[in-house]
């Protein structure tokens, strides 16, 4: 008999470190993510002080009732409560379920672009689906498409992409558009079927919020499903952007979140 479809809501969000009015922004992120009720959340620029007393990923996970794994990145002094503190701008993956494995990868980078890492996790979701997800934050240097492709290639060379029976997700802040060379290479990958969750006519801009005078908005935050060529592709029931409006003049982040409702493929048994 066929199993019931597994409906999974996925979100990716760059939380903008501790920029601007952090406490107010974090409260908006909690409230608006809670309204989305996600099963999977990928975070970039997740702020954490060295002593761990301030931790965006942990706060969001506890508030949303999710489990999480964190990868440190871009450790340096940042202004916090009027003085400099050692802090990180890392990745996190939050899931409604149990995290089984996690690993972070160092990505090709240089002193100009700064440290870049990716976080990968495998989890058993409460919905019954098995998940493999990767959170990425690619080079922010304008025109750095070759390095972005190399960063993506490093992520997709990880052996977990070949594990059978998984819903596989790749998402985050790519710092480039779907039409640019790095993401064009991604969706034409030679050995994996990589599909954006959003159709070409629904790619609302995700950055920056609010719009800055003389600076055009761009769609640089993305979610992709990843399958082997002979596997069924997860069905996208709906997708869009969220956390893209201010409340009392405060924006949740300078990036909008990208979300999608997926139906994971299921095996049919006699």
pLDDT (average), residues 204-222: 86
Is the pLDDT at 3 greater than 80? The verdict is: no
Model confidence over 45-80: pLDDT tens digits? Answer: 999 999 999 999 999 999 999 999 999 999 999 999
pLDDT of residue 19: 94
Model confidence over 93-142: pLDDT tens digits? Answer: 999 999 999 999 999 999 888 999 999 999 999 999 999 999 999 999 99
Confidence of residue 245 (pLDDT cuts 50, 70, 90): very high
pLDDT of residue 97: 97
For 1-10, 38-47, 144-153, which range has the lowest pLDDT when averaged over its residues?
1-10
Q: Give the CA angle between residues 108, 111, 113 to the nearest 5°.
A: 65
Is the pLDDT at 205 greater than 80? The verdict is: yes
Is the pLDDT at 85 greater than 50? The verdict is: yes
Token couple for 243: 């956390």
pLDDT (average), residues 207-231: 88
- Cβ distance 136 to 170 under 8 Å? yes
In a 3-state reduction of DSSP, which class is residue 243?
Answer: coil
Q: What is the spatial distance between Cα 132 and Cα 101, in angstroms, rounded to a whole number?
A: 9
pLDDT of residue 4: 47
- When the pLDDT of each residue in the chain is averaged and rounded to a whole number, the result is 92
Q: Using alpha carbons, select from 70, 110, 117 the residue that is nearest to residue 93.
A: 70
pLDDT of residue 22: 97
Is the pLDDT at 17 greater than 50? The verdict is: yes
What are the phi and psi torsion angles at 66 (to 5°)? -115, 155
Q: Give me the architecture of the 6-262 domain, per CATH.
A: 4-Layer Sandwich (3.60)
- Paired with 225 in beta bridges are 169, 195
pLDDT of residue 1: 33
Residues 6+ apart with CB under 8 A from 184: 178
Q: What percent of the chain has pLDDT over 70?
A: 94
pLDDT of residue 264: 80
pLDDT of residue 265: 67
Half-sphere exposure of 13 (CA within 13 A, CB side): 35
pLDDT of residue 269: 36
């Amino acid at each position: 008999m066929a199993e019931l479809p597994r409906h999974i809501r996925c979100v990716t969000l760059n939380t903008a470190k501790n920029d601007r009015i952090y406490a107010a922004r974090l409260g908006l992120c909690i409230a608006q993510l809670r309204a989305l009720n996600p099963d999977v959340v990928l975070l970039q620029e997740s702020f954490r002080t060295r002593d761990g007393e301030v931790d965006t990923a942990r706060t969001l996970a506890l508030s949303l009732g999710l489990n999480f794994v964190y990868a440190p990145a871009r450790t340096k002094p940042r202004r916090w409560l009027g003085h400099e503190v050692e802090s990180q701008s890392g990745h996190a993956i939050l899931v409604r379920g149990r995290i089984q494995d996690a690993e972070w990868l160092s990505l090709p980078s240089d002193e100009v672009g700064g440290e870049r890492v990716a976080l990968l996790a495998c989890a058993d979701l409460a919905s019954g689906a098995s998940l493999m997800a990767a959170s990425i934050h690619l080079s922010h240097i304008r025109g750095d498409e070759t390095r972005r492709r190399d960063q993506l290639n490093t992520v997709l060379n990880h052996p977990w992409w070949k594990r059978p029976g998984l819903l596989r997700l790749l998402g985050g802040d790519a710092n480039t558009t779907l039409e640019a060379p790095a993401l064009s290479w991604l969706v034409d990958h030679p050995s994996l079927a990589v599909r954006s969750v959003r159709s070409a006519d629904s790619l609302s801009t995700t950055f920056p919020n609010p719009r800055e005078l003389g600076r055009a908005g761009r769609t640089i935050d993305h979610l992709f499903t990843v399958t082997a060529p002979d596997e069924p592709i997860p069905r996208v029931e709906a997708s869009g952007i969220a956390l893209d409006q201010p409340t009392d003049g405060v924006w949740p982040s300078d990036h909008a979140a990208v979300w999608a409702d997926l139906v994971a493929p299921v095996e049919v048994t006699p």
